[in-house]
Structure 1
Amino acid sequence: MYQKHTHVISHSHWDREWYMPLERHRVRLVELLDTLIELFDNDADFRSFHLDGQTIVLEDYLQIRPEKRERLIQLVQEGKLIIGPWYILQDEFLTSSEANIRNLLIGHRDASQYGAVSKLGYFPDSFGNMGQAPQILRQAGIDTAVFGRGVKPVGFNNEAKGEYESAFSEMYWQSPDGSTVLGILFANWYHNGMEVPSDPTEAAAYWQRTLQNAEKFASTPHLLLMNGCDHQPVQTDLSKALQTARNLYPEVEFIHSNFSEYIRHVKDTLPKQLATIRGELRSQRTDGWWTLVNTASARVYIKQANQRVQTHLEKAAEPLAALAALTGHRYPSHLLTYAWKTLMQNHPHDSICGCSVDEVHREMMVRFDKSIQVSEQIVEDSLQAICSNIDTAAIFSEDDVPFTVFNTSGRQRTGVVSVDLKVKTIPFGKYGREETIELLKSMPIEHFTLKNGSGTLIDAQIEDLGITFGYELPKDRFRQPYMARSVRVRFLAQQVPALGYRTYALCPSASNNSLAMIAEATTAAVTSDDLPRLENEYLVVTIAENGSYDVTDKRTGRTFSGLGVYENSGDIGNEYVFRAPDGDVPLTTSGLTAQIRTVERNGFRHMIEIVHEWHVPSGGDERLEQEIREYVPFLERQAQRSRQTVPLNIITCLTLEHGVPQVNVKTSLVNHVKDHRLRVLFPTDIVSDVHYVDSIFEVAQRQTVPAEEWKNPSYCQHQQAFVNVRNETNGLTVSNLGLNEYEVLRDSRGTIALTLLRAVQELGDWGVFPTPEAQCLGEHEFSYFLIPHGAEEGAIDSYAAAYQAQIPWLTVQTSVQSGDLPAEHRFLGWEGAGLALSTVKLSDSVGAGAGDHLIMRWFNMTDKPTDLQLQPISGTAGSPFKSNVLEEAGENLSFHDNIPVRGAEIVTIGVKRDFKKGK
């Protein structure tokens, strides 16, 4: 009878790109898999290999070795090669909620094409783990997760001491909704069984040390040894090495195992009492230096690009393509999959975290461009398909120029929209070039007015764009170029329906006294007679001489004072970790005198520009470069900031739109500064032990003050769309576009510090890897939003506004035509207190058939149960059904009935598509 059972699992953690660019790593991947296939052919005792939980490694390999596909399929079906469940090993906190789901969905689909999907929640090296992972995994039929970070076990003879999360490497992990999985921590990391010696003398010393380390944390006699590490070549003599171990330790069973076998034995022998850890695993109970949270601010331009592209895909391309399909248009699932895969190739943790060499991040920007180009074409085609069915002839005349504004968010929306319109087009060849230009130039545009579908005049700003070139690409003939007279129209689109649209038109007018014509925006310096102040129905913004501003919420009477001060600190850390020089005192703009001027003021918005002319240290001193070259650990560095200063001039634009209870802020600068961090500060003057932040499918409640074990002076954390500080009566939500790092300061004012830029010069981690482009020199622009609110219900509304601010307005010019759709329409009607709409798309082929079902997903932003009411949807057939993250059909439901939703639950609903309306 064996006393211990040692499960050795062969693997290689495959960072697709990191300290070398993609193609250099790929060469080694090809060598690894070639060797592995040969080993399977020649060693019957080498039982299996875990291919790192991500299917993209197969794509990367087969691009070089397409002839090996059938052999890979055979190995997967024989259980020798373990693949999935993910497409890539993502950073969970820096990719959106839906991106995490697409990753799981596409990973399942791709793995199933090889014959088997690993049902294991595999998170070996995520820089923290999302709190909703157990719920997502459970919905995907997965009941166990393994992970390398986020929890610190006690170990040491399994004695539970202090307040650490778990005494063992095994624990239960529970999501906020109550979903629970078995969690297994790589307590000795995922390399604790690498390079097993086959020589008896070396093996004796190796196993004495290795077994002892594994036993410290295990709650059962089954020990996990991971035979591999980052880019580790396969150990070809493992079978011989394990036989050596069996000879040395006959009382221990040595198994060349896999996760399914290991987990089955662990479950059979678990102790009755295991700790239950709840929610996010962010290494809260550590010294705080190795959470790697500051990757959220490394190369911020990467995060901004990611936010733009993933939002465009999930909140524009997918819902519009789905709505177009309900009107009879073909759903481009193949194009969406390509766009998602291209985007997700930027989502591995060492890629999206910005902690790789410069070559990696240059290639990422190309992928972002490729993905959004496909997404934009899908949006354009979908808008045209929908608008071809809108009846505009009933409300507009032949000379009018109609266009439609789409709101693809889950709630009704008001805001300023900008649309470029062609008021006259002349095809190439109809006239000569000079005659065409003359005809277009002579066309009067000063008498246009803007009207809505009811014929009401809309206040607008109309800008003449002059003569423009354009072209059409018909589906049935050659390209059609033309010249046009174009204008840009800006106006306040009010109460545009959720997942719907409103139609407007630019209309000729005999008079130039129309409300619609504003030739130019107002631009003027602010004087004592023109107070620096913005105001609408909800808010008053007053600007001080130093460029900070106060925001008063008329609804509550609460004023938030001294907002918008910029803070600049030195940073002698790296792409992973922020570290200020010893004794560094942050500089701020609070003592500067700012230049303030009105940029625009009209009937629908007011914009004021604030300019700070600021000088800060140019970078780290010479000692920093020396310490980096000599591989001095960042915690031991003595470098300081340079005494030389350079300009850091900052332009801030504040915008207040009519009818919108939020302040839109845009910060622009040209960065000439190295080795520094720039933040903007928002004191709330609310003292609270907790604050609230948008995380993955949840509004997470986090502690403002760290645990006693925390030593790092900084307590920065991840966010997605927003962070909120509030009390029982009011609060402030700060939303952002692609700014994933924040800190709620322990300064007695409850200040939200939003990181705008962090500039460093090295990768960090295990060697010396210079990354000069991580200094982020050059032009930058940052967008964020301030949303004051009242009591708890107001906080929920502010969250919804923050989600909505992520989503672009979408517009399309149409024609005067007949159609089946009205000029204003809402495709999807739903109600649900506390719910946020997360996705609208057609089904993927993993669950319901590809394109067969309309899929909708919500999540409960609160911990309180609620109900979802869903109205019948045109273009669908039959009743809705409860689904899951894999889009599988479940319990049948009914329209109009209350669908119960647990606190923090992710709920997916499917409805069969009506194929009478299209393919």
Structure 2
Amino acid sequence: MSKKVAHVIPHTHWDREWYMPYEKHHARLIALMDTLLDTLERDDQFRSFHLDGQTIILEDYLQVRPENRERLTELIRQGKIAIGPWYVLQDEFLTSSEANVRNLLIGHKDAQVYGPVAKIGYFPDSFGNMGQAPQLLKQAGIGNAVFGRGVKPTGFNNSVADSAAYESPFSEMVWRAPDGSEVLGILFANWYHNGMEIPVGDEEARAYWPERFANVERFASTPQLLFMNGCDHQPVQTDLTAALDTARRLYPDYEFRISTFSEYVAAVEQSIDKPLTVVEGELRSQRTDGWGTLVNTASARVYVKQANVKGQALLEKIAEPSAAFSALLGREYPRPLLDYAWKTLMQNHPHDSICGCSVDEVHAEMMTRFAKSRHVAEALVQESGRFLAGRTDTSAFAGRSAVPFVVMNYAGGARSGAAVVELEIAKVLLGYDRSAEIYEELERLDIAGGVIVDERLQPVAADIEDLSVKFGYALPDDRFRQPYMARRIKVTLKAEQVPGMGHRAYAWLPASEGMRLPAAIPPADELGNEYFSIVVQSNGSLTLTDKETGAVYENLCVYENVGDIGNEYVFKQDGDNRILTTRDLTAETRIVSATAVATVVEIVHRWEIPAEADASLQSERAKIVPVSRRVAGRSERTVPLVISTRVTIEQGSRALKITASFDNQAKDHRLRALFPSGISSDIHYVDSVFEIAERPNEPAAEWINPSNAQHQQAFVALDDEARGLAVANIGLNEYEVLGDDRRTIAVTLLRAVGELGDWGVFPTPEAQCQGSQSVEFAIIPYGGRNDRCEAAAEAYAFQTPWTAEQTEVHAGDLPPVHGWLDWSGEQLALSAVKGGEFPGQYVVRWYNLSGSATELVLRPDSGRPLLGDNGKSPTGWRFSNILEQPLHELEADSDGVVRLPIKPREIVTLLWSPPVV
């Protein structure tokens, strides 16, 4: 009988920042890495170390120890340090689909500079795992996934049983993505510290090993046993080889190896002699009691999530495509700056960072990183926007006193809605000795009665606001800065059918041009647009009627408030279990503005809520009473909570857009918005990573947590054959479908808590989120399950801002109305348009939102040197994997059209190279 093999994998799980600020962890990392290099060079038997699957550790170390680059590189090339495949160990559900791809792409790219990339799908401490991970990993050439959470492998009291009640009886399983991609899944059934601090002495070893053998063998399906020699921030065990010599002498029936993950996974694959359980899709720990899923990190420090979603959208939805289109017209693609902006953003994506579950100093530094990434992205967007506007033909406005501008839509498809731009009607270079005179000269300009026109010189509905005279400056490429003063206006126009990934030209004309304004919308008893109408009730709730289906949704946007005596990881309602709502309040309502573009209604709730938890919570925190056993109530003292809700009805938009603002003075509480759907369904649909995930409304039988909150990306929805209701958001990542008879969607707007939680006592007063808060969400009614993908497109557009740039009257290469990418495909979502990893190469990515096969159709352009313009053979289009490695050419039909079949839930990445002229 062959021996069982104990694979001991030395590692450290390196939370870059968590219960200490980044630099304090950083200092300890330097010491750890110094020791590691010395140990590996001194001890030939200490043959490998797993560097936690994230290449940012290399950056952080060499930032302080650049003199050790050659030593580090040599050890990596020898295979003694395993690096990659990720840049950071992210939270998968709180980072966008494209952010997960960039993480994998940059991790590979950075690792290859030093040596081989560890092809290990490493998710040691993710708070749940995305369902599409197997597909992403397979496309990256990785056939396995190693994770610490998400499934329950065993039965009651750790018994191994082949029971349908649990996902897998073993730590090894097959993990299948929604598209059918499969990888070998390996769960840390005994966590990633089950082989830490192995003793050298005989007596200690005899006490150590029997229990650990038993725990691993209880879950292992093969004789290959995994022992993880390390834990969070664990220093290197420098006497490991001596400890294993002791183990070999005491336990000769086992073979002890210092292994790499690659060796261990290969050994497992060779030893499997029985069918493994297949687990499918998202791994969210649903077969548990519900207290350990850590899903409520989705609502900890909501301000962090909001900054992240806006930063991601700015980079992936605007900066990258606008830079790619500019490059097609001859401008250099700013790959180094984009990589820098992405890396800076992703430094906020580790699970203890983006989840909001660290000490206050960590999240203060995160906001600086968000700002740094955003500022780079904004600069790139402005540069590309000005370049593209400058190449757009605005000659239709020639011969008039026109101020042209170009509205740009970087959503996946054509859309209409309210776009905003600030224009400089006139400007004068600043002479400081006559600045007052210049100001007054500009202020005297008569701009009343101006009108917005489109490229056909047809008036466009617009609201024009005079911004008076403002200081500005230009930064020419070839000379010193130029300060000036300008008369400015703010234009909010009804942009109609602006092509997806495209633009439309407009212009402001003064009243002297004699253009007629479009007819104003007459006052109406009912608020609404062509798609829906709303009625504001006396309590401030909304009744929405979908004009296309006739469905009526009542009591939308009632606010709910409860106590929260949990922590940054876990929500726990106070022991009084009292639920407060605005249902019985009388709200103040007024129409802020009503134009041909949009109607804005303000609803004000004046509310008194408990100021904090009662005094017993402090005692429970100090004693580290588990959250599930806390009983503290809420204080008798109250503070005001005034919520100002602005409801915006845009003409031409299917989304009812809402912004809620409030000054939070209370502590230890949660605020949610409620949206009763009235739809009878046992399941709901939620935007997740590269998929619309289907989730049950009711948790599994093992679930005892009263709360069943879940993660979302852009939206959550319920529907049936005839109607559907989606609630979209910007950075509100937590929702719950309540178990009431109205199938109410509850979206968390704020969760205020005062401690980190987990393994110690770490006060986090800034997690109470005191002060001014503002949140954005949208209500999207739709025509039932067949229109679900259209509702998803509306939700994605909600997260994609319009952009606009002023320009001059000139001819240009680009027509005044133009889309860069002529594509179609039912149920497909466009995910990325960017420059490729190789110069002259462009990347376009889609994914199939549905469980049905579909077809992607790419049409050639009309002859301009633009994306997709190549009807010749070859087409310039190549099929690729997620790492942007070309796989094969795509052929076109005789009419130059490329037609590509897309499998259900498939992620498709194509490369395009412009034709050589």
Instruction: Output the TM-score relative to the length of structure 2.
Output: 0.97
**Is 1:746 aligned with 2:739?**
yes
Equivalent residue runs for 1:395-406 within 5 Å: 395-406=397-408
Q: Deviations over 1:527-549 (max 9, x none)?
A: xx986x41211111011111111
C-alpha contact (below 8 Å) 1:461/1:516 kept by paired residues: no
C-alpha contact (below 8 Å) 2:397/2:507 kept by paired residues: no
**Is 1:635 aligned with 2:628?**
yes
| 2:891 aligned partner, one-letter code | S
Q: Structure 1 CA distance, aligned partners of 2:492 and 2:912?
A: 37
Equivalent residue runs for 1:607-686 within 5 Å: 607-686=600-679
Q: Structure 1 CA distance, aligned partners of 2:432 and 2:362?
A: 49
Q: Structure 2 CA distance, aligned partners of 1:619 and 1:643?
A: 9
**Is 1:24 aligned with 2:12?**
no
Q: Structure 2 CA distance, aligned partners of 1:430 and 1:265?
A: 76
Q: Structure 1 CA distance, aligned partners of 2:779 and 2:890?
A: 39
**Is 1:891 aligned with 2:888?**
yes
Per-residue deviation at 1:512? 8.0
Per-residue deviation at 1:903? 0.5
Q: Structure 1 CA distance, aligned partners of 2:341 and 2:169?
A: 44
Which moved further from structure 2: 600-609 or 393-402? 393-402
C-alpha contact (below 8 Å) 1:447/1:511 kept by paired residues: no
**Is 1:857 aligned with 2:850?**
no
Equivalent residue runs for 1:579-590 within 5 Å: 579-590=572-583
| 1:897 aligned partner, one-letter code | V
C-alpha contact (below 8 Å) 1:129/1:281 kept by paired residues: yes
Report what 1:454 is aligned to: 456
Report what 1:90 is aligned to: 90
Candidates 542, 557, 562, aligned match of 1:569: 562
Report what 1:192 is aligned to: 194
Q: Structure 1 CA distance, aligned partners of 2:654 and 2:518?
A: 24
Which moved further from structure 2: 313-322 or 788-797? 788-797
**Is 1:778 aligned with 2:771?**
yes
Report what 1:59 is aligned to: 59
Q: Structure 2 CA distance, aligned partners of 1:719 and 1:675?
A: 23
Q: Structure 1 CA distance, aligned partners of 2:373 and 2:267?
A: 44
Candidates 462, 465, 489, aligned match of 1:463: 465
C-alpha contact (below 8 Å) 1:5/1:253 kept by paired residues: yes
**Is 1:69 aligned with 2:66?**
no
Per-residue deviation at 1:914? 4.8
Q: Structure 2 CA distance, aligned partners of 1:394 and 1:829?
A: 24
| 1:295 aligned partner, one-letter code | T
Q: Structure 2 CA distance, aligned partners of 1:497 and 1:189?
A: 50
Candidates 277, 289, 293, aligned match of 1:287: 289
**Is 1:536 aligned with 2:529?**
yes
**Is 1:422 aligned with 2:424?**
yes
Q: Structure 2 CA distance, aligned partners of 1:346 and 1:43?
A: 36
C-alpha contact (below 8 Å) 1:447/1:514 kept by paired residues: no
Equivalent residue runs for 1:773-812 within 5 Å: 773-812=766-805
Candidates 213, 216, 221, aligned match of 1:214: 216
Per-residue deviation at 1:901? 0.4
Report what 2:710 is aligned to: 717
Secondary structure of 2:801's counterpart equals coil
Per-residue deviation at 1:398? 5.0
Equivalent residue runs for 1:146-185 within 5 Å: 146-154=146-154, 158-185=160-187
Q: Structure 1 CA distance, aligned partners of 2:459 and 2:631?
A: 66
Q: Structure 1 CA distance, aligned partners of 2:355 and 2:818?
A: 41
C-alpha contact (below 8 Å) 2:669/2:753 kept by paired residues: yes
Secondary structure of 1:330's counterpart equals coil
| 1:144 aligned partner, one-letter code | N
Q: Deviations over 1:563-614 (max 9, x none)?
A: 1110000000000000012241210000101111111111121111111100
| 2:889 aligned partner, one-letter code | N
Q: Deviations over 1:236-293 (max 9, x none)?
A: 0000000000000111000011111111111001123110000000001000000000
Q: Structure 1 CA distance, aligned partners of 2:324 and 2:132?
A: 26
| 1:904 aligned partner, one-letter code | R
Report percent identity of matched pairs: 54
Report what 1:231 is aligned to: 233
Q: Structure 1 CA distance, aligned partners of 2:95 and 2:460?
A: 39
C-alpha contact (below 8 Å) 1:21/1:360 kept by paired residues: yes
Secondary structure of 2:844's counterpart equals strand
Report what 1:525 is aligned to: none
Q: Deviations over 1:787-816 (max 9, x none)?
A: 101132322211110011100000000001
Q: Structure 2 CA distance, aligned partners of 1:179 and 1:386?
A: 40
Report what 2:689 is aligned to: 696
Report what 1:911 is aligned to: 912
| 2:119 aligned partner, one-letter code | K
Per-residue deviation at 1:397? 2.9
**Is 1:253 aligned with 2:258?**
no
Candidates 273, 277, 280, aligned match of 1:278: 280
C-alpha contact (below 8 Å) 2:592/2:602 kept by paired residues: yes
Q: Structure 1 CA distance, aligned partners of 2:693 and 2:626?
A: 33
Q: Structure 1 CA distance, aligned partners of 2:635 and 2:916?
A: 68
Report what 1:871 is aligned to: 859
User: Residues 338 and 218 (structure 1 numbering): CA distance in 2 closer, same or farther, change over 3 Å?
Assistant: same
C-alpha contact (below 8 Å) 1:716/1:743 kept by paired residues: yes
Instruction: Output the TM-score relative to the length of structure 1.
Output: 0.96
Which moved further from structure 2: 435-444 or 405-414? 435-444
Equivalent residue runs for 1:102-141 within 5 Å: 102-141=102-141
C-alpha contact (below 8 Å) 1:419/1:811 kept by paired residues: yes
Q: Structure 2 CA distance, aligned partners of 1:58 and 1:88?
A: 11
Report what 2:388 is aligned to: 386
Candidates 813, 830, 844, aligned match of 1:820: 813
C-alpha contact (below 8 Å) 2:876/2:915 kept by paired residues: no
C-alpha contact (below 8 Å) 2:613/2:668 kept by paired residues: yes
Q: Structure 2 CA distance, aligned partners of 1:620 and 1:396?
A: 66
- Root mean square deviation, CA, Å: 1.6
Secondary structure of 1:113's counterpart equals helix
User: Residues 707 and 48 (structure 1 numbering): CA distance in 2 closer, same or farther, change over 3 Å?
Assistant: same
Per-residue deviation at 1:458? 1.3
Candidates 733, 742, 746, aligned match of 2:726: 733
Per-residue deviation at 1:657? 1.1
Report what 1:12 is aligned to: 12
| 1:550 aligned partner, one-letter code | T
| 2:21 aligned partner, one-letter code | P
Q: Structure 1 CA distance, aligned partners of 2:693 and 2:416?
A: 27
Q: Deviations over 1:847-889 (max 9, x none)?
A: xx2x321100000010100000012363456420111110010
Per-residue deviation at 1:915? 6.6
Q: Deviations over 1:316-367 (max 9, x none)?
A: 0000000111111110000000000000000000000000000000000000
Q: Structure 1 CA distance, aligned partners of 2:126 and 2:398?
A: 55
Q: Structure 1 CA distance, aligned partners of 2:463 and 2:849?
A: 38
Secondary structure of 1:614's counterpart equals strand
Report what 1:440 is aligned to: 442
Per-residue deviation at 1:629? 1.7
Secondary structure of 2:436's counterpart equals helix
Q: Structure 2 CA distance, aligned partners of 1:719 and 1:746?
A: 18
C-alpha contact (below 8 Å) 2:463/2:597 kept by paired residues: no
C-alpha contact (below 8 Å) 2:152/2:168 kept by paired residues: yes
Q: Deviations over 1:58-101 (max 9, x none)?
A: 10001100011111110110000000000000000000000000
Q: Structure 2 CA distance, aligned partners of 1:828 and 1:430?
A: 48
Q: Structure 2 CA distance, aligned partners of 1:395 and 1:434?
A: 33
| 2:887 aligned partner, one-letter code | G
| 2:148 aligned partner, one-letter code | G
Q: Deviations over 1:654-701 (max 9, x none)?
A: 111112122111111000010000001000111211100000000000
Secondary structure of 1:280's counterpart equals coil
Candidates 234, 242, 247, aligned match of 1:240: 242
